[in-house]
């Protein structure tokens, strides 16, 4: 499907942005140079008549994104958490995209539930409300489970949503392919891999069985986290297009006035949102990947509620350690160590100058420290960081895309609660705690014990393996006739194998 017909889809995107006035609004918000604004108007004006009209009652950018479809709405949700990039007013307008989109009919939702679960709605639920929230992919109804009286949220996918997403993603693939062809310098960013990763994340979100499983696992991981509520799924009333999960009442994190009226300590809540995200990513390697304000609530007692588990991230233990060391290096202003970690992990080609890379990182990190948070231009910071990574040949790490994106979203949420929050100071105790536990002597002892346990499983086989190695070494010496100055290389191997066998035997006995 990724053929030339997608050209029309991309042209219509630009035309819709021009017709709704979104291009002018966005370029003004990001303070684009006059030449860029003029070029955008010239390119968009001839195709303006092809653009979608959208809902004229909505602000320009919100109007354009809702008209273009679910993939664009997802993009708008991310922008709504970045007032430091798009401005406070534009960010406020985009919060509409989080949970206030037009719902589809309750009759349609009931028909989908009955088709999925094979049971009538009035038999499964003793009460079933009209939609209480509607987002880009699904809408939610409040209900009461028949027989138990449990209050639940019933999430139902929008009709034909998968087809709509596939059409948008198809156009993204087409655009990424042409970007790589026409702009060779962009290949290090791997646009096709980025879109492919986005496709996997989004299509996984369209199977609510996976979301139920994610909610269950996330709840198990965080059951001891004080001040966090994770609603759990009702399995027998959940399926591919329907998910039933416990109801949790609270104030949305996008309603600042309600939080202030309830006496919620917003700066403390903003710090807790950031620290919990870092804790889940580093401690568990499994984190909520869509933590915008529409997916977070707070109870009057100050407990944080998280829901909508369609997008979850997972990173392996090695990557967590690398990520923690990089964060800690920036926090401690040890730019040399940050550079070394990048080289050790293979993020930067080995033929580049590590000292020059460290100096470039210092230029990125130093402006952050000692500056009022509200004065930091994240757009300019990211722009300079892009220049640095381009100069040193760093490639996009597709396995970290979701982590990086979520970090940006979470930072935006924290700043919306406390515009003066110092991200680095808030993150420091979490990162330091992880490093003490996973990169110090205690971690080395734990890793050694894991190694011994693995060797212990091979204990009974090690004598035969040593004997086979000795025989092979002997045969190799005779048949290959190694020179005298190379024959010594075979001697340490049997000694190592014997020592390993002895260590494994002792561990097995212990």
Tell me 333's DSSP state: T
Closest by alpha carbon to 135, among 313, 254, 276?
254
Alpha helices per DSSP H over 184-255: 191-205, 208-221
CA 267 and chain centroid, separation? 23
Eight-class DSSP state of 236: G
**């730019």: which residue's tokens?**
335
Q: What is the pLDDT of residue 372?
A: 57
Note the pTM of the prediction, 2 decimals. 0.69
Q: What is the pLDDT of residue 184?
A: 66
Both structure tokens of 193:
């891999």
CB 271 within 8 A of CB 294: no
Candidate list 290, 316, 334, 351, residue with the active-site label: 290
pLDDT at 3: 58
Contacts (Cβ under 8 Å, ≥6 apart) of 121:
110, 113, 114, 128
Between CA 97 and CA 105, with CA 100 as vertex, the angle to 5 degrees is 125
Radius of gyration of the chain (CA): 27
CB atoms within 10 A of CB 302: 15
Closest alpha carbon to 277 in 264, 290, 261: 290
Scored b (16 or more CB within 10 A) or e, 281-290 reads bbbbebbbbb
Instruction: List, run by run, the mean pLDDT of 10-residue segments along the chain (510 residues).
Output: 66 83 74 70 73 83 84 73 65 71 90 94 95 86 94 93 81 78 63 73 83 95 93 95 94 91 93 92 90 88 90 85 81 86 84 89 74 54 62 67 72 85 82 80 71 71 74 57 40 39 39
Buried (b) or exposed (e) across 151-184, using 16+ Cβ within 10 A?
ebbbbbbbeebbebbbebbbbbbbbbeeebeeee
Angstrom CA distances, 50 to 8, 72, 179, 441, stand at 9, 17, 23, 64
Residue environment code for 400-425, b if the CB has 16+ CB neighbours within 10 A, otherwise e: bbbbebbbebbbbbbbbbbbebbbbe
- The residue assigned the tokens 């290096």 is 329
Within 10 angstroms of residue 239's Cβ, the number of other Cβ atoms is 19
- 284/320 Cα distance (integer angstroms): 9
For 402-475, strand residue ranges (E) read none
Does residue 84 carry a catalytic annotation?
A: no
β-pairing, 296-298 vs 251-252, is: antiparallel
Distance (Å, rounded) from C-alpha 477 to C-alpha 463? Answer: 21
What is the spatial distance between Cα 431 and Cα 437, in angstroms, rounded to a whole number? Answer: 10
Tell me the CA distances in angstroms from 408 to 214, 291, 331, 363, 403, one per residue in order.
22, 10, 17, 20, 9
- N-terminal to C-terminal alpha carbon distance within the chain: 61
195, 168 contact by CB (below 8 A): no
Residue 116: the pLDDT is 94
Kindly give, in sequence order, each residue whose CB lies less than 8 Å from that of residue 32, ignoring residues fewer than 6 positions away.
Answer: 40
Identify the pLDDT of residue 115: 94
- Residue 78 confidence (pLDDT): 64
């Amino acid at each position: 499907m990724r053929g030339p017909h997608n050209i029309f889809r991309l042209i219509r995107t630009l035309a819709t942005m021009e017709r709704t006035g979104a291009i002018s609004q966005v370029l003004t918000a990001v303070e684009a140079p006059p030449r860029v604004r003029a070029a955008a108007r010239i390119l968009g004006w001839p195709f303006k008549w092809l653009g979608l009209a959208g809902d004229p009652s909505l602000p320009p950018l919100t109007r354009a994104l809702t008209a273009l479809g679910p993939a664009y709405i997802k993009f708008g949700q991310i922008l709504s958490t970045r007032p430091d990039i798009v401005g406070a007013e534009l960010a406020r307008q985009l919060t509409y995209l989080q949970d206030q989109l037009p719902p589809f009919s309750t009759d349609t939702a009931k028909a989908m539930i009955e088709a999925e679960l094979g049971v009538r709605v009035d038999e499964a639920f003793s009460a079933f409300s009209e939609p209480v929230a509607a987002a880009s992919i699904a809408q939610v109804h409040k209900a009461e489970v028949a027989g138990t009286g449990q209050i639940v949220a019933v999430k139902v996918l929008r009709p034909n949503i998968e087809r709509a997403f596939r059409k948008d993603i198809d156009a993204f693939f087409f655009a990424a392919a042409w970007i790589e062809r026409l702009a060779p310098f962009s290949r290090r960013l791997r646009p096709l891999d980025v879109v492919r990763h986005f496709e996997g994340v989004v299509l996984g979100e369209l199977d609510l069985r996976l979301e139920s499983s994610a909610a269950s696992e996330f709840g198990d991981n965080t059951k001891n986290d004080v001040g966090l509520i994770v609603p759990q799924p009702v399995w027998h009333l959940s399926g591919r297009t329907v998910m039933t999960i416990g109801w949790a009442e609270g104030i949305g994190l996008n309603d600042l006035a309600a939080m202030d009226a309830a006496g919620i300590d917003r700066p403390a809540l903003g710090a807790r949102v950031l620290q919990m995200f870092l804790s889940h990513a580093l401690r568990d390697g499994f984190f909520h990947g869509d933590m915008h304000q529409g997916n977070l609530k707070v109870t009057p007692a100050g407990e944080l509620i998280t829901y909508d588990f369609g997008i979850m991230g997972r990173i392996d233990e090695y990557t967590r350690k690398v990520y923690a060391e990089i964060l800690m290096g920036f926090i401690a202003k040890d730019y040399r160590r940050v550079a070394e970690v990048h080289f050790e992990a293979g993020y930067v080609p080995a033929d580049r100058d590590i000292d020059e890379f460290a100096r470039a990182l210092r230029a990125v990190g130093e402006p952050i420290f000692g500056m009022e948070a509200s004065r930091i231009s994240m757009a300019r910071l990211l722009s300079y960081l892009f220049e640095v990574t381009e100069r040193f040949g760093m490639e996009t790490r597709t396995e970290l895309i979701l982590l990086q994106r979520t970090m940006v979203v979470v930072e935006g949420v924290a700043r919306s609660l406390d515009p003066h929050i110092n991200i680095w100071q808030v993150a420091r105790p979490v990162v330091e705690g992880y490093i003490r536990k996973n990169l110090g002597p205690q971690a080395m002892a734990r890793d050694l014990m894991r190694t011994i346990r693995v060797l212990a499983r091979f204990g009974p086989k090690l004598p035969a393996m040593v004997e086979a190695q000795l025989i092979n070494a002997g045969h190799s010496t005779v048949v290959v006739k190694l020179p005298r100055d190379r024959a010594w290389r075979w001697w340490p191997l049997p000694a190592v194998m014997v020592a390993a066998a002895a260590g494994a035997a002792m561990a097995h006995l212990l």
